Amino acid sequence: QVSGRVVFDIERIALMRQKHPADKLILAMPETNPEDVLGIKNSDGILTCVGGMTSHAVLQMRRLEKSGVSDFSAMNIDEANNMAIVIREPHQQGKVVIREGDYLTIDGHTGHVYLGFHATRKKIH
Q: How far is 21 from 78, CA to CA, in rounded Å?
A: 25
Asked if 46 contacts 26 with a C-beta cutoff of 8 angstroms, the reply is yes
- The tally of CA atoms less than 13 A away on the side-chain side of residue 3 is 10
Q: Give me the DSSP letters along 28-67.
A: EES---GGGHHHHHHSSEEEESS--TTSHHHHHHHHTT-E
**Mean pLDDT along residues 98-124:** 85
Measured CA angle at 6 (ends 5, 10), to 5 deg: 120
pLDDT band at 79 (very low <50, low <70, confident <90, very high): confident
pLDDT band at 87 (very low <50, low <70, confident <90, very high): confident
Q: How far is 91 from 63, CA to CA, in rounded Å?
A: 37
pLDDT band at 1 (very low <50, low <70, confident <90, very high): confident
Q: How far is 101 from 106, CA to CA, in rounded Å?
A: 15
**Mean pLDDT along residues 95-113:** 92
- Percentage of the chain beyond pLDDT 70 is 88
What would the pLDDT profile of 15-56 be if each residue is shown by its tens digit?
999 999 999 999 999 987 777 777 788 999 989 888 766 666
* pLDDT number for residue 27: 93
